[in-house]
A and B are shown apart, each in its own frame.
Chain A
Amino acid sequence: MGKKDSIPVLEVEKLTVSYETELGVYQAVRDISFSIKSHESFGLVGESGSGKSTVALAIVRYLASNGRVTGGNVRFHGTDIYSLPMNKLRSFWGSKIGMVYQNPQAALNPTITIGRQLAEMGKTHLGMSDREARQKACEILGMVAMPDPESVIERYPYQLSGGMLQRCVIAMALITRPELLIMDEPTTGLDVTTQAVILDLIADLKKKFDSAILYITHNLAVVANICNRIGVLYAGNLMEQGTTQQVVSGSKHPYTFKLLDCVPRFEHGRKKQLLSVIPGSIPRLDEIPRGCVFAPRCSLAERTCRAVRPPLIEIEQNHYTSCRLWERVHELEAEKPEAIADGALEDIPFLKVTGVKKYYPARVKGGGIFGRRKKYIKSVDGVTLWVNKGRTLGIVGESGSGKTTLARVISGLAGATSGNIELDGEQLGKTVQERKQEQLRNIQMVFQNPETSLNPYHTIAETVGRPIMLMGKSNKKEIQDRVIRLLNAVKLSSHYYNRLPGELSGGEKQRVAIARAFASTPGLVILDEPLSSLDVSVQGSLLNLLIELQLQSATSYIFISHDLAVVQHISDWVVVMYLGHIVEWGDAVKVLKPPFHPYTEALLSAIPVIDNKGVRMRIRLEGSVPSAVDIPPGCRFNTRCPRKQGNICETEEPPWQEGEGGHWIRCHIPMDKLNKLQQPIADKI
């Protein structure tokens, strides 16, 4: 017993993995070492290009065909995985090493029922008969809190929601009670509320099973809540390793330190503040710096840092860092940017949206040929809001809340079914075709996905210059100057002028998209999840950029996001949407403080927070957003509401209640009662 505990379940020693690609051979991870004991959960955190998934695949010896381990080794209970014969290795897979993947929909075979896929484990590894394996499958589904396992095992993967499928995949990995469980971004594709439920499940399972867990993610807050120890990967190198406490509260590596610092926190103040940022971008595989991989983005870096790659050194018990200057990391604290003056703006309404609805005709299942009733997807179902000049309105909600449809209606990409939109006191046409050129110029949009935001065949100059040309400027030089000024404004050098989007990183593309949006000097820019496909270390600087641009140009923003912290950071006013309705709105600070609408409360409590002091609010939403075709009667949120009052919620639409200082909630529960219920828990955040 004692011996078993002393040998780690997994030891990774000086692991180096290379990929052979079209353009040459690149090392995806270099000299990575860590180990995990049983009962322990180790979090491997890294942004894109850090090589975290490569590490996972190298551990199970299942690299892509162009990948090779070119150095170091991986030991499982002291046995070298890479010296094992194939059949021996196969007896480890599934039975001793379990895997949970990022995309459960893709990880399950679409043409085989869930039950059969689960039963395969019991039959292969536990020598079970068909019946026993099936029974075991039901049993394990019960353990992952799957409602109605008996019926779930008869279903096919496409018949279940993402959260449900992830439960199945977790269940599948746990059937054999593996000694090592590798989880590769298990909650990344899920909505915040579903993510919270799955994270709770994992925390709960940790107590029931004694597996060692390797948890891989890009989200520091998630590992901080789940893991005992953390390793931080950057561009294929391990930067820091230690207990969660050591890394999160006493980081001794500039990268980790800045990464923790550059995410917006919930502040209860009012001042607009720039975030601390990590300049530059993550190096591509073909341009990994010679010295410390982080040196080009590090403000402490010295000449030696750029010349020699620093080794991982132990600075206190179990706490390793690969920074030569770890003793100076605390100096970074001083780099915090100050609050910036928030220009005294009069609150003049610029955009007014009144009673806007957007319905799409729905194809109804099983309607039959006769007596088919026409049904509609009510994406946006009566929304009224306004945006003041030079201010930001944040819109939050899960997927399916209608926030993106609302943005499309305002921009004219989709014509509203009914309702009225006014810009600067002027009535707007429903669609782009019905709007005047001047009105079109005045509303611009920045999209979520930078990869498809720019035409791959247009140079940056053409992309940014085109809106200027449309404004009637035909002088070539004038346009050129303005393009370069715009590029500079989004902090891109004029080197980018003639490049094609394919040569730019995601963050750079998004900057170009922002430059394009600002090229026509619009009065309103709609930002639809502009940061969510970017890495954390890049998000901060873009958020700062947006704030600076707004201060310079007094442009109004509509900022759509599922990330409440980001929304509250940038917004003056916030709107919370659920199923096509606004359920709460008001001043940004007020909305995210009690009393909240129960849905806002649930969203807030679902977000994993890094510096977790004491008890967290634990409001969990079961299930997913109902279909926008069959909207529940009464309060739309009643089917999932943790604070449901009873019959009234199912029958009567709740009234708007006004709170202090510009704050409205649509709920049957009186404001002061909500406040009393929520205040005690919220204080503990």
Chain B
Amino acid sequence: MLRFTLRRLGFVLLTFLIASLLIFSLTEILPGDVATMVLGRFATPSALQNLRAKLGLDRPVYIQYISWLTNFIIGKWGDSISTQAEVFGLVMHRLKNSGMLALVGCLIYIPTGIFLGIVAAFRKNKWLDQTISMTSLAFIGLPEFVTGVILIAIFAIKLRIFPASSAIDPDARFIEILPQLVLPGITIALTNLAYVIRMTRSSTVEVLQTEYVRSAYLKGLRPGYVLRKHVLRNALLPTVTIIAISIAYLIGGLIITESLFSYPGVGRLLLFAISHRDLPLIQATSMLIVLIFSVSNFFADIIYAYLDPRIRYK
């Protein structure tokens, strides 16, 4: 188990390193360099030169990279070019908001997805399964901006139950802003919901067909017991991985959903940074997203290994 954990940790580090290299090199070859961006196109060459020296842009690339990465790790994320604010504080503040939104999304889709997936598997090929499977199949891959727009149209504009915009007060508490989180929460949950339902259903169907489940029934064990001890544990193993993968979609969804609902989270911050070509901000937000994603994958692997003795003892 320790070896396994270390190996996975190594992989997370590797992912992070390569991703950082990718982000660094991609953003470094942005058209126009940072100095020009800050000072404008008509700045004097000497002024540009001074700023480059100040920002360390005159050093060799690999040194720039190393110092950039070190700074990122110790939390010195620099100042935003467009807002002049300190990036670290800005991003962390937005991270809290995104976290709340993601939490609402997860609370909606994870339990519902698993439940509906299991129900569909047990009613395999009956009308209930057909309904659940077909609906989830149809909804998988529907863009958030489509579902979100439809939700806004119905619930915010026609029915006026929830607000269409979720531009929240930055210091508001979770409970206070909960009504504003409902629509964006449902929006990011929908696509993932379909995904989790389908994966849970297929892994449950697979487990239900195994010989060990047959032999458990033929041992005369009660169906409820077989479900709990023999079916669910094995069927939900892949679901752990699925949920980790769905976090990736969730992050993608956040970028779109936050923009749709004008919600002040990391995703919208990234878009803002991109539209303002705010290099430090782009780098910091994307690095953060990669980090969160790798760490959630890491935990999924560890949980999986913990639940599956075949991996635990390898």
Q: Which residues of A contact B221 (CB under 8 A)?
A: 94, 120, 124
Chain A contact residues: helix, strand, loop or mixed: mixed
Determine the distance from Cα of A134 to Cα of B309 in the docked complex, in whole angstroms.
Answer: 20
Q: Shortest beta-carbon distance, B191 to chain A, in Å?
A: 30
- B41 beta carbon closer than 8 Å to chain A: no
Within 8 A of A (CB), among B200-231: 210-222, 225, 229-230
Determine the distance from Cα of A506 to Cα of B17 in the docked complex, in whole angstroms.
Answer: 52
- A496 beta carbon closer than 8 Å to chain B: no
Quick one: given A106-B210, A109-B234, A112-B230, are A124 and B215 in contact (CB under 8 Å)?
no
Q: Which residues of B contact A111 (CB under 8 A)?
A: 233-234, 237, 307-310
Is A107 touching B233 in the complex (CB atoms < 8 A)? no
Determine the distance from Cα of A106 to Cα of B230 in the docked complex, in whole angstroms.
Answer: 13
Within 8 A of A (CB), among B218-262: 218-222, 225, 229-230, 233-234, 237
Most A-side CB within 10 Å, residue of B210, B213, B216, B225: B216
- B174 beta carbon closer than 8 Å to chain A: no
Is B309 touching A156 in the complex (CB atoms < 8 A)? yes
- A326 beta carbon closer than 8 Å to chain B: no
Quick one: given A156-B309, A158-B310, A159-B313, are A109 and B219 in contact (CB under 8 Å)?
no
Q: Shortest beta-carbon distance, B10 to chain A, in Å?
A: 11
Q: Shortest beta-carbon distance, B241 to chain A, in Å?
A: 15
The listed residue (B124, B212, B222) touching A90 by CB distance below 8 A is B222
Q: Mark A122-162, 1 if CB is under 8 A from B, else 0.
A: 00110000000000000000000000000000001011000
The listed residue (A91, A112, A159, A169) touching B220 by CB distance below 8 A is A91
Q: Which residues of B contact A101 (CB under 8 A)?
A: 211, 215
- A575 beta carbon closer than 8 Å to chain B: no
Q: Shortest beta-carbon distance, A178 to chain B, in Å?
A: 10
Determine the distance from Cα of A167 to Cα of B313 in the docked complex, in whole angstroms.
Answer: 23
Q: Shortest beta-carbon distance, B8 to chain A, in Å?
A: 16
Determine the distance from Cα of A236 to Cα of B20 in the docked complex, in whole angstroms.
Answer: 65
Is B215 touching A107 in the complex (CB atoms < 8 A)? yes
Q: Which residues of A contact B217 (CB under 8 A)?
A: 62, 93
- A281 beta carbon closer than 8 Å to chain B: no
Is A103 touching B211 in the complex (CB atoms < 8 A)? yes
Q: Mark A87-106, 1 if CB is under 8 A from B, else 0.
A: 00011111101010101001
Q: Mark B186-207, 1 if CB is under 8 A from A, else 0.
A: 0000000000000000000000
The listed residue (B219, B233, B237) touching A120 by CB distance below 8 A is B219
Most A-side CB within 10 Å, residue of B217, B220, B307: B220
Determine the distance from Cα of A169 to Cα of B313 in the docked complex, in whole angstroms.
Answer: 23
Is A172 touching B219 in the complex (CB atoms < 8 A)? yes
Residue of A nearest to B208 (CB): A65
Is A109 touching B212 in the complex (CB atoms < 8 A)? yes
Most A-side CB within 10 Å, residue of B213, B214, B230, B307: B214
Quick one: given A156-B309, A158-B310, are A108 and B218 in contact (CB under 8 Å)?
no
Determine the distance from Cα of A589 to Cα of B237 in the docked complex, in whole angstroms.
Answer: 55
Q: Which residues of A contact B216 (CB under 8 A)?
A: 109, 120
- A60 beta carbon closer than 8 Å to chain B: yes
Q: Which residues of B contact A65 (CB under 8 A)?
A: 124
Is B211 touching A95 in the complex (CB atoms < 8 A)? no
Determine the distance from Cα of A210 to Cα of B85 in the docked complex, in whole angstroms.
Answer: 85
Q: Which residues of A contact B213 (CB under 8 A)?
A: 109
Q: Which residues of A contact B211 (CB under 8 A)?
A: 101, 103, 106-107
- A78 beta carbon closer than 8 Å to chain B: no
Q: Shortest beta-carbon distance, A123 to chain B, in Å?
A: 9
Q: Which residues of A contact B310 (CB under 8 A)?
A: 110-111, 156, 158
Q: Shortest beta-carbon distance, A594 to chain B, in Å?
A: 42
Q: Shortest beta-carbon distance, A74 to chain B, in Å?
A: 15
Is A90 touching B220 in the complex (CB atoms < 8 A)? yes
Q: Shortest beta-carbon distance, A351 to chain B, in Å?
A: 41
Q: Which residues of B contact A112 (CB under 8 A)?
A: 229-230, 233
Q: Which residues of A contact B313 (CB under 8 A)?
A: 156, 159
Is B219 touching A108 in the complex (CB atoms < 8 A)? no
Is A94 touching B219 in the complex (CB atoms < 8 A)? yes
The listed residue (A99, A106, A158) touching B218 by CB distance below 8 A is A99
Determine the distance from Cα of A62 to Cα of B309 in the docked complex, in whole angstroms.
Answer: 29
- A121 beta carbon closer than 8 Å to chain B: yes
Within 8 A of A (CB), among B273-314: 307-310, 313
Determine the distance from Cα of A95 to Cα of B309 in the docked complex, in whole angstroms.
Answer: 29
Q: Which residues of A contact B212 (CB under 8 A)?
A: 106-110
Determine the distance from Cα of A101 to Cα of B217 in the docked complex, in whole angstroms.
Answer: 14
Residue of B nearest to A95 (CB): B220
Determine the distance from Cα of A120 to Cα of B308 in the docked complex, in whole angstroms.
Answer: 20
Q: Shortest beta-carbon distance, B55 to chain A, in Å?
A: 41
Within 8 A of B (CB), among A154-200: 156, 158-159, 169, 172
Residues of B within 8 A of A (CB): 124, 210-222, 225, 229-230, 233-234, 237, 307-310, 313
**Supplied contacts A92-B220, A109-B230, 19 more A-B pairs, CB within 8 Å:** A91-B220, A93-B218, A94-B218, A94-B219, A94-B220, A94-B221, A95-B220, A97-B218, A101-B211, A107-B211, A108-B212, A110-B234, A110-B309, A111-B234, A112-B229, A120-B219, A121-B219, A156-B309, A156-B313
Q: List 11 A-B contacts (CB under 8 A).
A: A92-B220, A93-B217, A93-B218, A103-B211, A107-B211, A107-B214, A111-B234, A111-B237, A124-B219, A124-B222, A156-B309
The 10 residue pairs across chains A and B that have the minimum distance between CB atoms: A94-B220, A93-B220, A94-B219, A106-B211, A109-B212, A156-B309, A107-B215, A107-B211, A93-B218, A99-B218
